[in-house]
Amino acid sequence: MLTLFHAPQSRSSAIMLLIEEMGIADKITVEITDIVRQDGSGHRDPANPHPEGKVPCLVHDGTVITERGAIMLYLTALFPEAGLAPRPGDAKRGAYLTWLFWYGSVMEPVLILDWAKAEVPGVRASLRGTAEINDRLHSALAKGPWLLGEEFSAADVLCHTPFAFYPPSMPDDPLIRDWVARCQARASVGRVKEQDAATLAARAA
């Protein structure tokens, strides 16, 4: 049994996008959970098995998987026929794995530090800054419409999300802007936004 603990309009919305893209919504039970939000609203849901009470949290037959990149890797490996990831042996598999891990290890921390206007020399020396983030994305997108070239993948779902979620972080780069627009134009985005809005409205009623 697969269960996703999801809070509307949060980091777990990216997993909902992936589920829609993969066409596996009928194979996953979505449990709506509460989380502590940045504005102080919300609370930790004791029913959510995430060790820190966060989302997303995927549970597969009792096994708990957290972190977006890990969940995306898990689901795309579990359902390879969905075609959202290169299979083992494919020459693009290495690049795909790199994007998933680079996002959580480098891209998101750098963008959060930039948003917080936190200048930490040691962190910058290790992770670099937004210029390097943008250069890496630009170099990949110069070779094709998606991060892996001609094939849309879970890497695009994950890596475009901070720019869609927080537009002021969008770099002044046409290649990146157009890529984010292509990602946001996909039907899955509209469906998840509608689902999240309906869930929030129902909880507020």
Positive or negative, the CA dihedral 63, 28, 154, 197 is negative
CA distance 180 to 162: 10
Q: What does 85-126 look like in DSSP terms, one character per residue? A: SPPTT-TTHHHHHHHHHHIIIIIHHHHHHHHTT---HHHHHH
CATH number of the structural domain spanning residue 128: 1.20.1050.10
Of the chain, the percentage scoring pLDDT greater than 90 comes to: 88
Shared-domain flag, residues 106 and 181 = yes
- If asked whether residues 39 and 71 sit together in one domain, one would say yes
The answer to whether residue 6 scores a pLDDT higher than 90 is yes
Nearest Cα to Cα of residue 11 among 47, 52, 46: 52
- The answer to whether residues 120 and 99 belong to one domain is yes
On the question of a cis peptide bond just before residue 56, with omega within 30 degrees of 0, the verdict is yes
Structural domain containing residue 59: 2-84+188-204
Kindly state whether residues 180 and 136 are assigned to the same domain: yes
- Structurally, the chain folds into a number of domains equal to 2
* Statement to judge: residues 193 and 180 lie in one domain: no
Output Rg (C-alpha) for the chain, integer angstroms.
17
Q: Angle at which helices 154-165 and 68-78 pack, to 10 degrees? A: 150
Show the beta-strand stretches assigned E in the chain.
2-6, 29-32, 57-60, 63-66
Examine the domain organization and report whether 45 and 78 are in the same domain.
yes
CA distance 84 to 44: 32
How far apart are the C-alpha atoms of 62 and 193, rounded to whole Å? Answer: 29
Q: pLDDT (tens digit, 9 = 90+) per residue, 126-169?
A: 889 999 999 999 999 999 999 999 999 999 999 999 999 999 99
Q: Model-level pTM?
A: 0.94
- Residues 164, 111 within the same domain: yes
Sign of the dihedral through C-alpha 123, 74, 24, 3? negative
Count, in order, helices (H) and strands (E) of the chain: 9, 4
Letter for the amino acid at 182? R
- Of the pLDDT bands very low, low, confident and very high (cuts 50, 70, 90), residue 111 is very high
Is the same domain home to 16 and 79? yes
The dihedrals phi and psi of 46, each to the nearest 5 degrees, come to: -65, -15
> Tens digit of pLDDT for each residue in 26-65?
999 999 999 998 887 889 999 999 999 999 999 999 999 9
- 8-32 pLDDT tens trace: 999 999 999 999 999 999 999 999 9
| One domain for residues 71 and 122 | no
Is 179 in the same domain as 121? yes
CA 174 to chain centre: 21
What pLDDT score does 32 carry?
97
Q: The CATH number of the domain where 17 resides is what?
A: 3.40.30.10
The mean pLDDT value of the chain amounts to 95
Task: Please indicate, yes or no, whether residues 120 and 181 belong to a single structural domain of this protein.
Answer: yes
109 in the same domain as 26: no
